[in-house]
Amino acid sequence: MGARIIQTRVVNRPGVLNRITQTVLKPGYNIDTLTLQYAGGSADSSAEFSIITLGIQFADQAAAELLMNQLEKQIDVIYAVDITDGLPSDKEREDQSIY
């Protein structure tokens, strides 16, 4: 399958990046690229958010989906989405309630 780009939106707290990377490394995946971007706070909450973008090699789509599901189980992860083929459309975002 090759490299996939996984984007996660997370609550900006100490230790979150460590938990994300441990979730990726535990099944034996290698993080090829990693970017972290501050995404600010929301108007209805005191929480601050960050976007973590990971480039990871997967054997197949099922492995990528399994990892995204595992990431979304993390308490500080708002969403995890595969953006390799581009960002989701507005309709997809509404359907998935990820933004």
Quick: pLDDT tens for 31-89.
Answer: 999 999 988 876 666 678 999 999 999 988 899 999 999 999 999 999 999 999 886 65
pLDDT at residue number 91: 46
- Structure confidence by residue, pLDDT tens digits, 19-35: 999 999 999 999 999 99
Which domains, from first to last, does the chain contain? 2-96 (3.30.70.260)
Six-digit token pair at 8?
A: 């996660």
What SS3 class is residue 39? strand
Residues in the chain: 99
Which residue has 């969403």 as its token pair? Answer: 79
pLDDT at residue number 89: 55
Q: Count Cβ atoms within 10 A of the Cβ of residue 78 and give its class: 0-12 exposed, 13-18 middle, 19 or more buried.
A: middle
**pTM for the predicted model, two decimal places:** 0.80
Taking residues 2-6, report their average pLDDT: 92
The closest alpha carbon to 21, from 40, 12, 32, belongs to 32
